[in-house]
Amino acid sequence: MDPSHLILTLLLTATLAPLVSCLVVLFIGKRVMGTASGWFATVVMAVAFGCALWALLAWMGWPAAQRHTIVLAVPWIPLPGSETPWLYLGGMVDSLTVAMMAMVTGVSMLVHLYSIGYMEGDARFERFFAYLSLFTFSMLGIVMSHSLIMLFVFWELVGLTSYLLIGFWFEKRAPQLACRKAFVMNRIGDMGFLIGFGILFWKLGGNVFLPAVAGNGRVSMFEALRQAIEAQGYSINHPPLWLTAAGIGLFFGAVGKSAQFPLHTWLPDAMEGPTPVSSIVHSATMVAAGVYLTARIYPILTPGAHLFVATIGLITLTIAAAMALVMTDIKRVLAYSTLSQLGYMVLGLGAGAWTFALFHLITHAFFKCCLFQCSGSVINASHHEQDMRQYGGLGKKMPITAGAYLVSTLAISGASLPFMGIGLTGGFYSKDGIIAGCYNYGSALAVAGHTLGPIFYWTPLIIAFVTVFYMARSFALTFMGQPRNKHLYEHVHEAPWTMTVPQVALALSAVLAMPMVLPFLHLINGSMPTVSWVQPGQADHMKVAYEHVEKGLLFGVAWIIVLLGGIAMYRPGMKYGHRVATLPGVNVLYTWTHNKFYFDALYDIFIVGCGKALAFIVGTFDKYIVDGLVNLAGLIGKGTGFFIGSFDKLVVDGAVNAAADLTQAGGRTLRLTQPGRVRVYVLLTFATGVVVTLIVVAAAMLR
């Protein structure tokens, strides 16, 4: 039997359930449900997760030979002048969709549960859950999208809801600025998206909107688009300039959402939102959306666009890792580590490691969500102190949180068993796969004569160790050693069960998912675009990745050395760290890194400052020049009238009295609105109006 109907129904239910929950909580949450709103929203998310999981099982149970992409298309905006009669909304289901749906609903459910504990006592408790559910709905909409336009619709909804969530505590100044920054930065990316989209529309017309053709085997939405491009005689491998430009434009949208260089500055600030928001923004939604988009447009990315994507990812993962090394705010460390990991994913997509990049997206979602939740528990327990220099030794008081944090640290480090090439966590396989893909890509570039090709391989490899180091640093500073702030330490307590349960569940999923790795990779691989320009090494990508693991014995030992080194260095606090940072040469580097490479200052001066200055100039121009000319014209008219009037009165006198009367009438108009005479003039106008209208109508009727 064809389960496509069942799968589609389940996934649509999972998508729409959070929307319903949002509306219910928004309108009756405060008055009727009170704090039960949190549980209501969580249960609805659990139902959605159940549906998504069922759909995943149904999909995997569907014999691969018969499996096909499921498409639902609902006409939305008519396009009579174009190749397609409609712009559609709807849905598309392939392996990637199914996997992403399960991940997003699962993580979101745990974040909802966690929020019940974290947001307890907040004045806008109910509203928080409404926003959170809407946020999830928007992300699920992106995952289900079957065309660029539908993706953009939910893309913007994600932007809106992230604005609401980041600015949730809008009484305070920092969240206000952070949410505005997030939205505007995203809109800059959207501008690129719209331009890329426009270019495609110009060249391909309505074909851009055609959803994936239903039942067309394994073809997914953007492969249909690629086919449309090739059907018009263009080639992806030897592309015209516009195609590369369109790909880069679309990718720029992802640069905004996934906080890639140079639009990355909003993400660290976004942690001004409540911590559950950080935990979902940094994992399952929002930042994942950009990577997801890049994965979907993959088939139409030209070699030039691929190089662009890979370079952006490379820059991001490097600078973000550097910044994560020096931050002392626990959430900032995690925020920069998210940036860096997103850089890995984007680099992986650019380099052609499609399957592993997406696998990394999913594994990362679990452990990063866990890390943020643990940090939230710590912050909550220590009276909203976020500076790690004030922590120390918290592991004794918060063993569950510390354990979950450690497991996730191992996962993000890509921990593997030494000398065996067996990963301890899913994170090992996903990251290693990306690095292997980068090896292929770098080699291919080197063969093609690009001397800088190998940096695409060496950089992510080196940064992988930096990752281990800064994560070890944050763990050691927070949970190990002696308490550095006695007062804070005394009040610290383990988080309530609504918060620890999601933490443990997420940490376990990072470990217990191990037996699932191969089937899961296989599943995602089922959605891999069939054609890519990165031909050498592409086909046997998986094989190369595993060979890489076997060769990676050294890596297997090295990560432990780095981990232990990091812990040893930071267990006693910051003193060794300070000593290193003040070394000559290093201190300059440290200053730059600590100031976030001055991106914020640069943007404030050049973009925000210039924007405001331009607005001021244009506004002043409008007020004094454009409007000034209008007033001048009025003045000249008035003067002329006065002059002619006087001339008339004094020189021509009675001869042309009518003209003078006219001028006087003009003068009187100015005084028309004096109170007291209002009624007279209203009546006059009214009479005129009525007479005119009546003449019109009566004349017409009488004929």
Among the listed ranges 6-14, 190-198, 526-534, 583-591, the one in contact with other proteins (CB under 8 A) is 190-198
Instruction: Indicate whether 64 belongs to the interface with other proteins (CB under 8 A).
Output: no
Q: Of 334-393, which residues contact other proteins (CB under 8 A)?
A: none
Residue 358: closest CA among 91, 95, 151, 31: 95
Instruction: Indicate whether 605 belongs to the interface with other proteins (CB under 8 A).
Output: no
Of 34, 198, 215, 399, the residue at the interface with other proteins (CB under 8 A) is: 198
Of 191, 508, 511, 558, the residue at the interface with other proteins (CB under 8 A) is: 191
Q: How far apart are CA 199 and CA 302, in angstroms?
A: 15
Q: Nearer to other proteins by C-beta: 156 or 385?
A: 156
Instruction: Indicate whether 682 belongs to the interface with other proteins (CB under 8 A).
Output: yes
Instruction: Indicate whether 176 belongs to the interface with other proteins (CB under 8 A).
Output: yes
Of 173, 384, 486, 575, the residue at the interface with other proteins (CB under 8 A) is: 173
Bridge partners, residue 71, by sequence: 92
Q: Of 411-430, which residues contact other proteins (CB under 8 A)?
A: none
Residue 210: closest CA among 309, 79, 120: 79
Of 82, 84, 227, 311, the residue at the interface with other proteins (CB under 8 A) is: 82
Q: Nearer to other proteins by C-beta: 583 or 607?
A: 607
Contact string (CB under 8 A) for other proteins, positions 141-160, x = contact: --------x--xxxxxx--x
Question: How many CB atoms are located within 10 Å of the residue 78 CB?
Answer: 11
Instruction: Indicate whether 664 belongs to the interface with other proteins (CB under 8 A).
Output: no
* Identity of the residue numbered 167: G
Q: Which segments of 420-505 are extended strands (E)?
A: 422-423
Instruction: Indicate whether 662 belongs to the interface with other proteins (CB under 8 A).
Output: no
Q: Nearer to other proteins by C-beta: 79 or 567?
A: 79
Instruction: Indicate whether 678 belongs to the interface with other proteins (CB under 8 A).
Output: yes
Rounded to the nearest 5°, which phi and psi values hold at 389?
A: -70, -20
Q: Nearer to other proteins by C-beta: 6 or 194?
A: 194
**3-class state of residue 246 by DSSP:** helix
Q: Which H helix or E strand runs over 93?
A: strand 86-93
Q: Nearer to other proteins by C-beta: 516 or 636?
A: 636
Question: How many CB atoms are located within 10 Å of the residue 495 CB?
Answer: 23
Q: Nearer to other proteins by C-beta: 61 or 675?
A: 675
CA neighbours closer than 13 Å in the CB half-sphere of residue 406: 14
Of 58, 195, 446, 574, the residue at the interface with other proteins (CB under 8 A) is: 195
Rounded to the nearest 5°, which phi and psi values hold at 262?
A: -100, 15
Q: Of 22-51, which residues contact other proteins (CB under 8 A)?
A: 26
Q: Nearer to other proteins by C-beta: 84 or 216?
A: 84
Q: Nearer to other proteins by C-beta: 169 or 592?
A: 169
Q: Nearer to other proteins by C-beta: 78 or 217?
A: 78
Q: Of 620-639, which residues contact other proteins (CB under 8 A)?
A: 620, 622, 626-627, 630, 634, 637
Of 39, 54, 201, 603, the residue at the interface with other proteins (CB under 8 A) is: 201
Instruction: Indicate whether 81 belongs to the interface with other proteins (CB under 8 A).
Output: yes
Q: Nearer to other proteins by C-beta: 77 or 557?
A: 77
Instruction: Indicate whether 450 belongs to the interface with other proteins (CB under 8 A).
Output: no
Instruction: Indicate whether 170 belongs to the interface with other proteins (CB under 8 A).
Output: yes
CA neighbours closer than 13 Å in the CB half-sphere of residue 587: 5
Residue 291: closest CA among 384, 383, 361, 387: 361
Residue 230: closest CA among 577, 590, 610, 530: 530
Of 63, 80, 233, 654, the residue at the interface with other proteins (CB under 8 A) is: 80
**Range 443-451 contact pairs with CB under 8 angstroms and sequence separation of 24 or more:** 443/536, 443/537, 444/534, 444/536, 444/537, 447/536
* Identity of the residue numbered 96: L
Question: How many CB atoms are located within 10 Å of the residue 535 CB?
Answer: 11
C-alpha dist (Å) from residue 491 to 183, 379, 393, 394, 486: 37, 12, 13, 11, 9
Which DSSP letter does residue 106 get? H
Q: Of 294-313, which residues contact other proteins (CB under 8 A)?
A: none
* Identity of the residue numbered 325: L
Q: Nearer to other proteins by C-beta: 564 or 698?
A: 698
Q: How far apart are CA 1 and CA 379, in angstroms?
A: 52
Q: Return the structure tokens found at 473.
A: 């640093």
Instruction: Indicate whether 582 belongs to the interface with other proteins (CB under 8 A).
Output: no
